[in-house]
Chains A and B, each alone.
Chain A
């Protein structure tokens, strides 16, 4: 066979180089950011940060209540959002007749909801959960539910993809053996989709961890000297704590904020790593 012309090959090379530089640019920004934050936060990056409660004196201040608050809020959020999201995904993939207008309407709306800015969910939480009809107050439960609403579309969309990836031959095989639709879903489709669902849910929750805007609206406190004790406790979370420290005039608080950012990033990276691990560990070959 003849070799392609030099011009063709050069074009291919050039395009490859261009793509590589795009990737490099993204990575570079990230590295610069990371280095700067770690550098800045290093002096305060110690166990005291995790042990101490916030305080007005930057020297003894820590993010303990924010870390526990994050665990509480995201934990409850996960308990709510995963069953609801997976249930909705199962309905849409396995039961819904997509020729019906209302099912199509739901689909389009879920896509749209995923793109709605977080702050809008904050307003919804404020008007509907914290105050308004439910009147829960500015507590863990309200924060969790708001975040659950925020990430629900993500959980639904990723779970649907996982369910859709289960080959139809598996369903047909189960039906042909006299399984009911529920047995087929429960015993074949869902177990096969678990890795995808888990990955999507973990990524959705890591998004929830990083969100501050809606919780600021909900009155997540920034100066909390105790850990949440239940659904009805006031709470704060790491992003709010960081936001608060950064807006203080004292330089020490900036350093504290940088250190807290490193903690938050570490949590996010480990969650994403967990998601990748789950995906690789349970990946299915059909």
Chain B
């Protein structure tokens, strides 16, 4: 069996972290770097092709000149210091930023070859294909069942709802914990369970891509672990983009890592830029940019 980063044992992970903090970047370890081979069927299929993306909140340019490809059935991690535009960037991918008054996108995002911001693209339809899990679990104030059923209902998905709910909860690794209390309020769940419920809710609309904005930041290590396992499960069927502050997490679960940082110009305007994007093991062991290295080794100010 091929070992990839995601399935690596905790010891290996800590090793990896220590290598990058202590030793100067060395050659990639032999057993990592095989992630994409684990899913040869999807290797190379570009889901998002992003070129020269600029993003503005009104006059404020939050993100500048981002060009990156996101490949299918992979987990792409987005890391970088706070305020560098990671959330802004992934919200561009499902057009959630359209909800912010005055927000504007320049450049091009292609989703399976189609211009995501093209004139006849319906943002609502986009979000139906590109699901999102938020930083803080945000279950609806409804029953567990209705939380999962909401997406399919509003999208007019004709399926046996009970089956769909069960299947989604299964895939989110939550079924066993909630099967006896589907009619109870979603607020009766723990934080980690709520987050998995949000993932189940997202899976229920059968998206193609799942965007996750720091999905584990409100969770304890155990719940985090659970969700990380889940992500590696899910990437068989979905393409996942995850924002995380936890470098170890990025190293553990992702296939590719994009490092963003903030540039400050003479007028002290802060803009997020993509520094580099590469296979995760490359970023964590042999980054090409000094800023990346500083950040992952904790030398970033």
Contact across chains for A173 and B134 when beta carbons are under 8 A apart:
yes
- Name the contact of A175 in the complex, choosing from B99, B101, B153 (C-beta under 8 A): B99
Q: Which parts of A165-203 form the interface with B (CB within 8 Å)?
A: 167, 169-170, 172-180, 183, 187-188, 191-192
Contact across chains for B132 and A176 when beta carbons are under 8 A apart:
yes
Is B23 among interface residues, defined by CB-CB distance under 8 A?
A: no
Is A101 among interface residues, defined by CB-CB distance under 8 A?
A: no
Contact across chains for A176 and B154 when beta carbons are under 8 A apart:
no
Q: How far is B96's CA from A167's CA once the two chains are assembled, in angstroms?
A: 16
Prevailing SS type, chain A contact patch: helix
Contact across chains for A178 and B99 when beta carbons are under 8 A apart:
no
* Chain A, Cβ-Cβ closest to B99: A175
Contact across chains for B140 and A174 when beta carbons are under 8 A apart:
yes
Q: How far is B154's CA from A188's CA once the two chains are assembled, in angstroms?
A: 11
With A178-B154, A187-B154, A284-B141 already in contact, 6 other A-B pairs whose C-beta atoms are closer than 8 Å: A169-B138, A176-B202, A177-B155, A178-B125, A178-B127, A179-B150
Q: How far is B52's CA from A63's CA once the two chains are assembled, in angstroms?
A: 77
- Name the contact of B138 in the complex, choosing from A97, A170, A187, A284 (C-beta under 8 A): A170
* Chain B, Cβ-Cβ closest to A99: B101
Contact across chains for A173 and B138 when beta carbons are under 8 A apart:
yes
Q: How far is B132's CA from A172's CA once the two chains are assembled, in angstroms?
A: 10
Contact across chains for A178 and B128 when beta carbons are under 8 A apart:
yes
Q: Which parts of B83-125 form the interface with A (CB within 8 Å)?
A: 94, 96, 99, 101, 124-125
- Name the contact of A177 in the complex, choosing from B99, B101, B125, B154 (C-beta under 8 A): B154
* Chain B, Cβ-Cβ closest to A182: B154
Report B's interface with A, CB cutoff 8 A.
94, 96, 99, 101, 124-125, 127-128, 131-132, 134, 136, 138-141, 150-151, 153-155, 187, 198, 201-202, 205
Contact across chains for B101 and A176 when beta carbons are under 8 A apart:
no
Q: Which residues of B contact A191 (CB under 8 A)?
A: 141
Q: How far is B140's CA from A170's CA once the two chains are assembled, in angstroms?
A: 6
* Chain A, Cβ-Cβ closest to B132: A176
Q: Which residues of A contact B101 (CB under 8 A)?
A: 97, 99
Q: Which residues of B contact A97 (CB under 8 A)?
A: 101
Contact across chains for A177 and B151 when beta carbons are under 8 A apart:
yes
* Chain A, Cβ-Cβ closest to B123: A175
CB distance from A103 to the nearest CB of B (A): 12
Q: Which residues of A contact B151 (CB under 8 A)?
A: 177-179
CB distance from A281 to the nearest CB of B (A): 14
Given A178-B124, A178-B125, residue A173 in contact with residue B205 (CB < 8 A): no
Q: How far is B125's CA from A95's CA once the two chains are assembled, in angstroms?
A: 20
When A and B form their complex, which 5 residue pairs have the shortest distance between CB atoms, in order from nearest? A178-B128, A169-B138, A177-B151, A176-B132, A179-B154
- Name the contact of B134 in the complex, choosing from A169, A187, A284, A286 (C-beta under 8 A): A169
* Chain A, Cβ-Cβ closest to B102: A99
* Chain A, Cβ-Cβ closest to B204: A177
Q: How far is B267's CA from A47's CA once the two chains are assembled, in angstroms?
A: 80
* Chain B, Cβ-Cβ closest to A167: B138
Is A285 among interface residues, defined by CB-CB distance under 8 A?
A: yes
Contact across chains for A172 and B141 when beta carbons are under 8 A apart:
no
CB distance from B156 to the nearest CB of A (A): 10
Task: Please classify how large the interface on chain A is, using the bins under 10, 10 to 19, 20 to 34, 35 or more.
Answer: 20 to 34
CB distance from A150 to the nearest CB of B (A): 33
Contact across chains for A176 and B127 when beta carbons are under 8 A apart:
yes
* Chain B, Cβ-Cβ closest to A179: B154
Contact across chains for A174 and B150 when beta carbons are under 8 A apart:
yes
Q: Which parts of A48-64 form the interface with B (CB within 8 Å)?
A: none
Report A's interface with B, CB cutoff 8 A.
97, 99, 167, 169-170, 172-180, 183, 187-188, 191-192, 284-286
Q: Which residues of A contact B150 (CB under 8 A)?
A: 174, 177, 179, 187-188
Q: Which residues of A contact B136 (CB under 8 A)?
A: 169
CB distance from A98 to the nearest CB of B (A): 9
Q: How far is B139's CA from A264's CA once the two chains are assembled, in angstroms?
A: 44
Q: Which residues of B contact A175 (CB under 8 A)?
A: 96, 99, 124, 127
Contact across chains for A172 and B140 when beta carbons are under 8 A apart:
no
Contact across chains for B205 and A177 when beta carbons are under 8 A apart:
yes
Q: How far is B198's CA from A277's CA once the two chains are assembled, in angstroms?
A: 32
CB distance from B189 to the nearest CB of A (A): 13
Contact across chains for B154 and A180 when beta carbons are under 8 A apart:
yes
6 examples of A-B residue contacts, CB within 8 angstroms? A173-B139, A175-B96, A176-B132, A177-B151, A178-B128, A285-B187
- Name the contact of A173 in the complex, choosing from B124, B128, B198 (C-beta under 8 A): B198
Q: Which residues of B contact A192 (CB under 8 A)?
A: 141
Most interface-central of A99, A172, A175, A192 (chain B CB within 10 A): A175
- Name the contact of B141 in the complex, choosing from A99, A183, A286 (C-beta under 8 A): A286
Q: Which residues of A contact B154 (CB under 8 A)?
A: 174, 177-180, 183, 187
CB distance from B155 to the nearest CB of A (A): 5
CB distance from B24 to the nearest CB of A (A): 42
Q: How far is B150's CA from A191's CA once the two chains are assembled, in angstroms?
A: 14
Contact across chains for B131 and A176 when beta carbons are under 8 A apart:
yes
* Chain B, Cβ-Cβ closest to A186: B154
Q: Which residues of A contact B140 (CB under 8 A)?
A: 170, 173-174, 188
Q: Which residues of A contact B138 (CB under 8 A)?
A: 167, 169-170, 172-173
Contact across chains for A177 and B202 when beta carbons are under 8 A apart:
yes
Most interface-central of B124, B131, B198, B202 (chain A CB within 10 A): B124
CB distance from B134 to the nearest CB of A (A): 7
Q: Which residues of A contact B198 (CB under 8 A)?
A: 173
Contact across chains for B131 and A172 when beta carbons are under 8 A apart:
no
Q: How far is B141's CA from A192's CA once the two chains are assembled, in angstroms?
A: 7
